[in-house]
């Protein structure tokens, strides 16, 4: 029944069925996909950063042999020397500290010995600086990015975006955090400096010789690759020594496909002050928070009432329903040690010093101008993002990624706001058997979530996740559970060109679960 409704909606909204034949896809050959390797003399950069990516060996496990990785390096050529913060002895790329309004130029030197390109996930930048895979450069080449920071204060994510290789390259180390600050944020009494820390959560599998294992057999490509060791900020078994005060932890799920259900082991609630695109209007406190690949969460972790010596664990709690039973059974065979939805510790926080200078949780943060249906020009005709899985296929609106193509339906007028409806297309041969949770990411401007509706009937499973979605803030990645339908409003302002949207389960992305809008 629900399958048929979805199918009908799908046809109505996408006008795909017949339309595929009627409207040929538009070919954007020569739409400026020329590699940009010279700076624009008219772009007066405030900050210039030289990035490189190369093979390296890093001490990740703190025992035995070092691990071979692919790693980003960066140094400031011009401007604020604090724009780059290198993490010592780490396989993560340096943290970029940018300010709203800054003009940034990045030179990217690829020294990997293979093709690559960097994408600034969450940043609203022009097509030529967005790291679209059409711009991937060969080893030995240089790419020049130029953009102004239009984003509000928040936490973003840079990573390689090489088509078909994103999963492997990110897994091997090609990612890092971007922090954007702005004047509005500065006014708030938020934890700063040593009390404002990254919390990059990743899962990796190591072999006997401490080397990273990444396999791309059928099950991993269909479900996503799950690692058996949890790394926080590039290290296993992490314990933070904290003072008895409040901290701001910028959590970034840098995993390829693992979804975390973040909670405190002692059952106390957890407080969020920001999501992907910036600070919330006011803090939200939840028993747990669902955290899917590429999402960011600004966490307010307060240890003020903790005694010295207490240790608390941030854990991932068990949950159900992100995969159908069939998948779960197959998945269990694939990665017996740490399945999706099992319980494990992420990091420990030990209170080692008593202090009395803690800021108080603000009751109001940053005002958010709400997008409403009256701003969009397609209220009754939302753009569909219909997700489907088949045997070795992962598609959007029935199609796989094509480098220079967007359909008629994927053309969006510059300056518009669009209502977009993300749902599961169960019309395929395997139907809902194949439905699984997908973290859906759209490049370009941050969007707002209008609604999230569960249409399934496995309420027992859904109840294990349903209180964990923070939908009130700026988003660029949203977890869409099986049988869920999520409506968003997204602005398409400032820049023309091709802007990707895809599943951020990186194995799904590499399998082709990616399309693009042509904004023009
Ligand atoms: Cu982080 Cu196109 O993605
Ligand atoms: Cu992105
Ligand atoms: Cu997916």
- Lowest-pLDDT range, 47-51, 194-198, 321-325? 321-325
Starting from the CA of residue 506, give the closest ligand: 3
* pLDDT value of residue 77: 98
Give dist(CA 315, CA 270) in Å, integer: 11
Shortest CA distance to 27 belongs to which of 403, 398, 509?
403
Shortest CA distance to 303 belongs to which of 314, 317, 315?
314
- Listed residues: CB within 5 A of ion ligand 2: 121, 443
Distance 433 CA to ligand 3 centre (A): 14
The ranges assigned to domains in the chain are 7-29+369-519, 35-184, 193-353
Distance 491 CA to ligand 1 centre (A): 18
Distance 509 CA to ligand 1 centre (A): 9
Distance 447 CA to ligand 2 centre (A): 13
Starting from the CA of residue 515, give the closest ligand: 1
Instruction: Name the CA dihedral angle for 132, 133, 134, 137, rounded to a multiple of 10 degrees.
Output: 110
HSE (CB half, 13 Å, CA atoms) of 495? 18
The correct answer on CATH 1.10.287.1080 for the domain covering 193-353 is no
Across the range 33-45, mean pLDDT stands at: 85
Q: Is the pLDDT of residue 453 over 70?
A: yes
7-29+369-519 sits in which CATH class?
Answer: mainly beta
Q: How confident is the model at residue 14 (pLDDT cuts 50, 70, 90)?
A: very low
- The minimum-distance atom of ligand 1 relative to the CA of 122 is 1
Q: Hey, what are 405's tokens?
A: 């193509």
Average pLDDT of the chain, as a whole number: 91
- The minimum-distance atom of ligand 1 relative to the CA of 477 is 1
Starting from the CA of residue 166, give the closest ligand: 1
Starting from the CA of residue 132, give the closest ligand: 1
> Per residue in 368-423, pLDDT tens?
999 999 999 999 999 999 999 887 889 999 999 999 999 999 999 999 999 999 99
Shortest CA distance to 487 belongs to which of 422, 440, 426, 436?
422
Distance 355 CA to ligand 2 centre (A): 39
- The minimum-distance atom of ligand 1 relative to the CA of 157 is 1
Starting from the CA of residue 480, give the closest ligand: 3
Distance 347 CA to ligand 3 centre (A): 26
Single pTM value for the model: 0.93
- The minimum-distance atom of ligand 1 relative to the CA of 294 is 1
Is 193-353 in the same CATH topology as 35-184?
A: yes
- The minimum-distance atom of ligand 1 relative to the CA of 121 is 1
* pLDDT value of residue 218: 83
Atom 1 (ligand 1): residue with closest C-alpha?
121
In the chain, what are the helix, strand and coil shares in percent, each to the nearest 5?
Answer: 15, 40, 45
Residues flanking ligand 1, CB < 6 Å: 119, 121, 157, 159, 161, 294, 441, 443, 500, 502, 504
Q: Is the pLDDT of residue 207 over 80?
A: yes
Q: What percent of the chain has pLDDT over 90?
A: 83
Distance 343 CA to ligand 3 centre (A): 22
Q: Hey, what are 395's tokens?
A: 């598609």
* pLDDT value of residue 434: 73
Shortest CA distance to 150 belongs to which of 76, 98, 74?
98
Shortest CA distance to 88 belongs to which of 253, 206, 234?
234
Q: How confident is the model at residue 5 (pLDDT cuts 50, 70, 90)?
A: very low
Q: Is the pLDDT of residue 32 over 50?
A: no
Q: Give 197: exposed, middle or buried? Use CB within 10 Å, 0-12, 13-18, 19+.
A: middle
Across the range 118-127, mean pLDDT stands at: 98
Distance 333 CA to ligand 1 centre (A): 29
Distance 78 CA to ligand 3 centre (A): 39
Q: How confident is the model at residue 4 (pLDDT cuts 50, 70, 90)?
A: very low
CATH number of 35-184: 2.60.40.420
- The minimum-distance atom of ligand 1 relative to the CA of 509 is 2
- The minimum-distance atom of ligand 1 relative to the CA of 159 is 1
- Listed residues: CB within 5 A of ion ligand 3: 438, 503, 505, 508
Shortest CA distance to 265 belongs to which of 199, 314, 307, 318?
314
Q: Hey, what are 203's tokens?
A: 């899962």
């Amino acid at each position: 029944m629900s399958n048929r409704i979805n199918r009908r909606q799908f046809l109505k909204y996408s006008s795909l069925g017949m339309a595929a034949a009627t409207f040929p896809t538009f070919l954007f050959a020569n739409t400026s996909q020329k590699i940009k390797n010279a700076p624009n003399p008219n772009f007066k950069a405030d900050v210039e950063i030289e990035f490189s990516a190369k093979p390296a060996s890093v001490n990740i496990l703190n025992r035995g042999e070092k691990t071979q990785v692919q790693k980003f390096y960066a140094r400031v050529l011009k401007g604020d020397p604090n724009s780059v913060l290198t993490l010592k002895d780490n396989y993560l790329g340096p943290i970029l500290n940018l300010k709203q309004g800054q003009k940034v130029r990045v030179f990217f030197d690829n020294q990997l010995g293979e093709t690559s390109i960097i994408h600034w996930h969450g940043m609203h930048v022009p097509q030529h600086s967005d790291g679209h895979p059409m711009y991937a450069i060969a080893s030995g080449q240089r790419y020049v990015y130029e953009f102004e920071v239009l984003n509000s204060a928040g936490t973003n994510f840079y990573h390689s975006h090489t088509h078909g290789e994103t999963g492997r390259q990110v897994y091997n180390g090609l990612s890092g955090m971007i922090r954007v600050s702005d004047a509005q944020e500065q006014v708030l009494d938020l934890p700063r400096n040593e009390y404002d820390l990254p919390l990059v959560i990743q899962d990796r599998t190591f072999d006997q010789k401490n080397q990273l294992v990444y396999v791309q057999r059928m099950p991993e490509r269909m479900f996503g690759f799950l690692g058996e060791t949890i790394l926080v900020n590039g290290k296993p078994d992490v314990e933070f020594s904290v003072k008895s005060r409040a901290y701001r932890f910028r959590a970034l799920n840098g995993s390829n496909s693992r979804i975390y259900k973040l909670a405190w082991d002692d059952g106390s609630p957890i407080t969020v002050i920001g999501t992907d695109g910036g600070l919330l209007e006011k803090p939200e406190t939840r028993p747990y928070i669902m955290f899917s690949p590429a999402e960011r969460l600004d966490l307010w972790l307060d240890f003020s009432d903790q005694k010295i010596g207490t240790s608390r664990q941030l854990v991932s709690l068990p949950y159900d329903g992100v995969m159908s039973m069939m998948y779960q059974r197959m998945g269990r065979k694939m990665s017996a040690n740490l399945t999706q939805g099992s319980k494990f510790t992420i990091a420990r926080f030990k209170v080692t010093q008593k202090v009395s200078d803690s800021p108080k949780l603000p009751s109001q943060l940053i005002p958010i101008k709400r997008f409403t249906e009256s701003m969009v020009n397609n209220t009754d005709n939302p753009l569909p993002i219909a997700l489907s899985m088949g045997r070795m296929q992962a598609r959007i609106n029935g199609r796989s990624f094509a480098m220079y193509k967007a359909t008629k339906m994927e053309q969006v007028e510059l300056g518009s706001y669009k209502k977009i409806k993300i749902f599961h297309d169960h019309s395929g041969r395997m139907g809902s058997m194949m439905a699984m949770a997908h973290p859906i990411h759209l490049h370009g401007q941050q969007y707002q979530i209008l609604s999230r509706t569960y249409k399934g009937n496995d309420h027992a499973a859904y109840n294990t996740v349903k209180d964990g979605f923070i939908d009130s803030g700026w988003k660029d990645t949203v977890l869409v559970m099986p049988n869920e339908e999520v409506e968003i409003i997204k602005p398409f302002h400032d820049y023309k060109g091709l802007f990707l949207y895809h599943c951020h389960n990186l194995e799904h992305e590499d399998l082709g679960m990616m399309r693009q809008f042509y904004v023009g």
